[in-house]
Amino acid sequence: MLGVVRQKMLGQSLPKIRPVVSVLRSYSSAAKQMTVRDSLNSALDEEMSADPKVFLMGEEVGEYQGAYKISKGLLEKYGPERVRDTPITEAGFAGIGVGAAYYGLKPVVEFMTFNFSMQAIDHIINSAAKSNYMSAGQMSVPIVFRGPNGAAAGVGAQHSQCYAAWYASCPGLKVLTPYSSEDARGLLKAAIRDPDPVVFLENELLYGESFPVSDEVLDSSFCLPIGKAKIERVGRDVTITAFSRMVGHALKAAEILEKDGIDAEVINLRSIRPLDRSTINASVRKTNRLVTVEEGFPQHGVGAEICASVVEESFAYLDAPVERIAGADIPMPYAANLERLAVPQVEDIVRAAKRACYRSVPLAAAA
């Protein structure tokens, strides 16, 4: 909560000051560093401690300490009743999780990657997302489906897909995409406390990254609001929206653009559903230019929805067509050079932002 208030103050009253994250870095205050992995682990720990109805279920979450060590130590602390190792049967255990949520428990169901959630997608959509509506409010489903989403490194076509757009198109679901450790803690806690089904899309390559976390973030009552984006970097010339790992790419692109005299505003979406259309539109009305960035496939992607929203609500403010940077429109190749071409790189974002910042009138026509 406090983290959000602080960010709003910076964003509105002092537009030239860099956002909280980099202030802490450059002045090396006593802010603690925490990995995303530890953030998720501590959030799970605290929520399980606070509410006995919360339990964790998934493959290797218990004795193995978590396939990616996100649930390390939880089995020892909470016991096998509350930290359940499942067989490799996603349709089965996701359905069991939803059933438990119907009855009033608060399951956290882990998919080892969201690629495997496709085995369980009927339960996520039909059993979880739609139930509150179909039952006119009787059957709320306070479940969290979490796990790594998107590309890792060299894991090939069946293990690299981003599911943000698919899940976010479904009413009844909430879809969150943390980037930093603060996001991880605040959003996971919010997700577990939320009475609706939440799809919580993490990223394997972010697990080991460290971010500064303030005392507020470390407090066990810390929570971030669902449906609010965060302006990671205030800017004037072009809006860049991103989520999950791509936020890091967008911030790096912004640093490069600054050297070319382009002041980019970077929005960390944090929430894909609900999408924070007002923050996005307010930003575009200020900068007049937009680049959307995502890892997933371009067609019917998150960027397409953002573009539609901006065209619908802020058309007169656009000075250039909306630019979309997304994963390549192909199954993920394995070879390292091809994989690099299939995933957005920092230079792609820089290039698109520059295109958005110049009028596309050729010199001959202007003469």
Partner 1 sequence: MALSYLRSSSSRSVNLLKPLSSSLPLRRPISTDTTPITVETSVPFTSHQCDAPSRSVETNPKELLTFFRDMALMRRMEIAADSLYKAKLIRGFCHLYDGQEAVAVGMEAAVTKKDCIITAYRDHCTFIGRGGTLLEVFAELMGRQAGCSKGKGGSMHFYKKDSNFYGGHGIVGAQVPLGCGLAFAQKYSKDETVTFALYGDGAANQGQLFEALNISALWDLPAILVCENNHYGMGTAEWRAAKSPAYYKRGDYVPGLKVDGMDALAVKQACKFAKEHALKNGPIILEMDTYRYHGHSMSDPGSTYRTRDEISGVRQERDPIERIRKLILSHDLATEKELKDIEKEVRKEVDDTITQAKESPMPEPSELFTNVYAKGLGVESFGADRKEVRATLP
Distance, CA of 323 to CA of 329 (rounded, Å): 16
342: its two tokens? 């299939």
Choose, by CB under 8 A, the member of 37, 168, 324, 357 that binds partner 1. Answer: 324
* Tokens read off for 105: 């428990």
Catalytically annotated residue among 46, 47, 59, 90:
90
Which range in 42-50, 232-240, 278-286, 320-328 contacts partner 1 by CB under 8 A? 320-328
C-alpha 35/C-alpha 27 separation (Å) is: 20
Bridge partners (DSSP) of residue 146 are: 110, 200
Q: Does the annotation count 249 as an active-site position?
A: no
Tokens of 213: 């976390």
Q: Is the Cβ of residue 159 or residue 252 nearer to partner 1 in the bound state?
A: 159
The smaller minimum CB distance to partner 1, of residues 93 and 145, is found at 93
Please give the full DSSP string across 113-165, using - where no structure is assigned: SGGGGGGTHHIIIIIIITHHHHTTTS-----EEEEE-S--SS--GGG----HH
Which residue lies nearer to partner 1 by CB, 197 or 327?
Answer: 327
* Nearer Cβ to partner 1 (51/63): 63
Identity at 240, one-letter amino acid code: I
Any contact of residue 63 with partner 1 (CB under 8 A)?
yes
Catalytic, out of 159, 209, 216, 313:
159
Which of 298, 304, 313, 317 is the binder for partner 1 (CB under 8 A)?
298
Helix (H) or strand (E) holding 342: helix 336-342
Q: Rounded to an integer, what is the distance from CA 248 to the centroid of its chain?
A: 12
- Residue from 50, 96, 155, 256 binding partner 1 (CB under 8 A): 155
338 lines the binding site for partner 1 (CB under 8 A): yes
Can 159 be counted among the known catalytic residues? yes
The CB-of-230 to partner 1 minimum distance in angstroms stands at 24
Q: Where are any strands of DSSP class E within the chain?
A: 32-35, 54-58, 83-85, 106-110, 144-148, 174-176, 198-202, 210-213, 230-233, 238-242, 264-268, 271-273, 290-293, 323-325
Looking at the DSSP bridge assignments, the partners of residue 58 are 85, 110
Residue among 11, 150, 186, 344 that touches partner 1 (CB under 8 A): 344
Q: Which of residues 92-121 bind partner 1 (CB under 8 A)?
A: 92, 115-116, 118-119
Segment near partner 1 (CB under 8 A), from 86-94, 132-140, 180-188, 267-275? Answer: 86-94
With binding defined as CB under 8 A, does residue 351 bind partner 1? yes
Q: Which residues bind partner 1 (CB under 8 A)?
A: 59-60, 63-64, 67, 85, 87-89, 91-92, 115-116, 118-119, 152-159, 298, 323-331, 333-338, 341-345, 348, 351-352, 355
Catalytic sites, residue numbers: 90, 159
